[in-house]
Amino acid sequence: MTTDSDKIVTPVQSLCAALVDQLRGLNAIRTGRVADAFRAVPRHLFAPEAPVAEVYSNQPIVTKRDERGLAISTVSAPRIQAFMLEQADIQPGMRVLEIGSGGVNAAYIAELVGEGGEVTTMDIDPFVVDRAMRFLPEAGYEHVNVVLADGEFGVPEHAPYDRIVVTVGAWDIPPAWWEQLSPGGRIVVPIRVRSLNRSVAFQLEGEHLVSRSIERAGFVAMQGAGAFGEEVVYLHGDTVALRVDDGQQADGVLLAAALKQPRVELWSGVTVGDQEPFDDLDMFLATSMPGFCLLTAHESAVAAGIVQARPWGSSAVVDGGAFAYVVLRQLGPDSHEFGVYGHGSGAEALAARVVEQINTWQSSHRGGPAPVILAHPMGTPADQLAGGLVIDKKHTRFTVSWSR
């Protein structure tokens, strides 16, 4: 029977409904089950320090910063939580481990697994664990296991897991995650591949993990035993830098000198719309060009015309004393052309190689399937790896291949 009080829509309910509509519009929520989970969880109870309207807007809430002021714990932006839950494909009755806690995402997972499932959420930081231990029961999720530990080692006491959802930026897949995953299970992890951060849904198939979907996702970096920073090579004071990852090489002295030389400029003829994402171009360049790095710059260096890097970094390639990076120029109100700027000795030839790869992406991969990333345990001999580029981490041998 419906009563009058059932019809009353509170401000929180309408904020929540608007958020769900927005996330559907962004294609972050794709299924009714994830939409229902977002409607069911009182998100504001997990960030009581923030205004309610902010908690139901599509932005992260920083809950802890380090001594330099950098965010080390957040309630993630709803868009990222939603598409990672979709990537995880969590079904009723499943056992799920969340690495990197806060509470709210564990509550969404608890909704998705239902009463027959089991959720374990863990964090390395006692402050975060304490919050999750308080907020989850307050919001009605008293059965979620909350554990203080380093995610590098998983949580063996509640294993095995059908799903492991990692909500902190990783560089590798440590052995514990493989060991604690059920046969046919899935790991969703924001992983750094040659300086690019991507949330990858990996399905366990026999002895290896196979990517099922790849989305761009930035996260706070992993602390503890699995922490693995990139090399940062400065080219102009501390305002212009190359982020160098996965065994790539860049000589700071040579490249800082190169930046002082006049730039070469080549244009590709390949265009992109104003809001059109091109994450797969970055991924294609990263996994097809030796010497790939990410060029980052402080806005003062961009304003001064020293480089033209995007706020989150621009694809760049280093070859000895030269580097070249991808830029855009506006052609019309909704059209931009990809080009390449290069500096240093041999920059013209290097820039031409990058332009050629942009054209290969355009003709062979744009709008096509994502690359397939396979993870093999370290120690897998080369002749048993899948084809494609091999990227060796500490515990895992990744291969990346693009279909033609």
d(C-alpha 127, C-alpha 13), whole Å: 29
Which of 38, 219, 341, 361 touches ligand SAM by CB under 6 A?
219
| Smallest separation (angstroms) from ligand SAM to the CB of 338 | 32
Count of positions (residues) in the chain: 404
Q: Is 110 in the site for ligand SAM (CB under 6 A)?
A: no
**What does DSSP assign to residue 229?**
P
* Minimum distance, C-beta of residue 168 to ligand SAM, in the bound complex (Å): 3
Which of these ranges, 99-107, 176-184, 366-374, 391-399, lies near ligand SAM under the rule CB under 6 A? 99-107
287 scored as a contact of ligand SAM (CB under 6 A): no
Tell me how far, at minimum, the Cβ of 226 lies from ligand SAM, in Å: 6
The token pair at 248 is 């790539």
By CB under 6 A, residue 171 contacts ligand SAM: no
Mark the segment that binds ligand SAM (CB under 6 A) among 149-157, 277-285, 287-295, 309-317: 149-157
Q: Are 55 and 34 within 8 A, CB to CB?
A: no
Across-strand partners of 71?
A: 65
β-sheet bridge partners, residue 392: 397
Distance of closest approach, residue 80 Cβ to ligand SAM, in angstroms: 8
Taking CB under 6 A as the binding criterion, the range among 118-126, 243-251, 329-337, 375-383 that sits at the site for ligand SAM is 118-126
Rounded to the nearest whole angstrom, what is the least distance from the CB of residue 108 to ligand SAM in the complex?
Answer: 8
223 binds ligand SAM (CB under 6 A): yes
Which of residues 111 and 280 has its CB atom nearest to ligand SAM in the complex?
111
Question: Contact 110/144 with Cβ under 8 angstroms?
Answer: yes
How many chain residues interact with ligand SAM (CB under 6 A)? 30
Does the footprint of ligand SAM cover residue 124 (CB under 6 A)?
yes
160 preceded by a cis bond (ω within 30 of 0): yes
Q: How far apart are CA 215 and CA 348, in angstroms?
A: 32
Instruction: Write each residue from 54 to 93 as x if it is in contact with ligand SAM (CB under 6 A), else as -, in one continuous string.
Output: ------------------xxxxx----x------------
Whichever of 94 and 147 has its CB closer to ligand SAM, that residue is: 147
- Which strands form 231-236's sheet, in the order they lie side by side? 231-236, 240-244, 292-297, 314-319, 322-332, 335-344, 264-272
Instruction: Identify which of 258, 255, 233 has the alpha carbon closest to the alpha carbon of residue 243.
Output: 233
Alpha-carbon span 301 to 239, nearest angstrom: 6
For residue 199, what are the β-bridge partners? 190, 215
Residue 377's contacts (CB-CB under 8 Å, 6 or more residues apart) are 175, 178, 207, 208, 395, 396, 397
| Nearest to ligand SAM of 122, 324 (CB atom) | 122
Which of 130, 251 has the CB closer to ligand SAM? 130
Per CB under 6 A, does 150 bind ligand SAM? yes
Please identify which of the residues 76, 195, 199, 314 carries the catalytic annotation.
76
Among left, alpha and beta (phi > 0; psi -120 to 50; other), residue 198 is beta
Binding mask 290-329 for ligand SAM (x = CB under 6 A): ----------------------------------------
DSSP class per residue in 353-381: HHHHHHHHIIIIITTSPPPEEEEEETT--
Q: Which residues pair with 390 in a beta bridge?
A: 399
**Contact flag: residue 197 with ligand SAM (CB under 6 A):** no
- Tokens 């990996």 correspond to 202
Q: How far is the CB of 146 from ligand SAM (least distance, A)?
A: 12
Specify whether 76 is catalytic.
yes
Distance of CA 294 to the CA centre of its chain: 15
Q: Is 185 in the site for ligand SAM (CB under 6 A)?
A: no
What are the residues binding ligand SAM (CB under 6 A)?
72-76, 81, 98-105, 122-125, 128, 150-152, 167-168, 219-220, 222-224, 226
By annotation, the residues acting in catalysis are: 76
